[in-house]
Amino acid sequence: MGMAVFSEADSTEDVIALAWILEDGSQRFYEGLVSFLQDEAAKALYESLVKAESKHKEILEKLYRDTTGKGLTTDVTGQDGSRDIMEGGASLSEALRWAKGKSTIDLFQFSMSAEINAYDLYLKMADRMEQASAKEVFRKLALEEKVHLAGMGDLLGQQF
């Protein structure tokens, strides 16, 4: 699903901007979960993921600036509300509607599938990039997605 999102990207700067959009969508999804979760361990994990997604956005902003010589703007990032997508290619608004009332385990499973997709997508993007610094950024993001998965897997294991 994630590769379909990137099929509209014609350039390295488009790929970086779309990666930023996916990270932003995931950050907003995790913020939404934190607002209604009751399980304190799950809430703490999602709070850490909010921070991690924010860090990913900063990394991508720097790569965008280094690549293009200019900063990301709201017309590129869709912070005007026009971008309703998150890692995994899911609609952010639909994912948030779905999440209300779901069990912590259901939320972990959904989140893990999105993180797995992001991990796979970033590895593919690293291979696709010609610029060495862009390759390295996407490899680093892939590894960090793997860390997110491990944290969710650990908590999921504790739930059973």
Interval 118-136: pLDDT, tens: 899 889 888 888 888 888 8
Whether the pLDDT of residue 106 is over 70: the answer is: yes
Residue that wins the pLDDT comparison between 154 and 139: 139
Helices (H) and strands (E) in the chain, counts: 7, 0
Whether the pLDDT of residue 7 is over 60: the answer is: no
Residue that wins the pLDDT comparison between 15 and 160: 15
DSSP reduced 3-state for 70 = coil
Which residue ranges form the domains of the chain, and what is each CATH number?
2-159 (1.20.1260.10)
Phi, psi torsion values for 83, nearest 5 degrees? -105, 115
Res. 10 pLDDT band, cuts 50 70 90: low
Mean pLDDT, residues 22-26: 92
Residue that wins the pLDDT comparison between 97 and 155: 97
Angle between helices 132-159 and 12-36 (to 10 degrees): 20
CA–CA dist 70, 66 (Å, integer): 8
Res. 149 pLDDT band, cuts 50 70 90: confident
pTM of the model: 0.86
Determine which of 69-73, 74-78, 122-126 has the lowest per-residue pLDDT on average: 74-78
Nearest to 49 by CA among 35, 63, 29, 21: 29
Nearest to 86 by CA among 59, 63, 104, 113: 113
DSSP reduced 3-state for 93 = helix
Looking at residue 13, what is its pLDDT?
Answer: 82
Whether the pLDDT of residue 32 is over 90: the answer is: yes
CA–CA dist 19, 39 (Å, integer): 30
Res. 1 pLDDT band, cuts 50 70 90: very low
User: Cβ(101)–Cβ(32) under 8 Å?
Assistant: no
Whether the pLDDT of residue 80 is over 70: the answer is: no
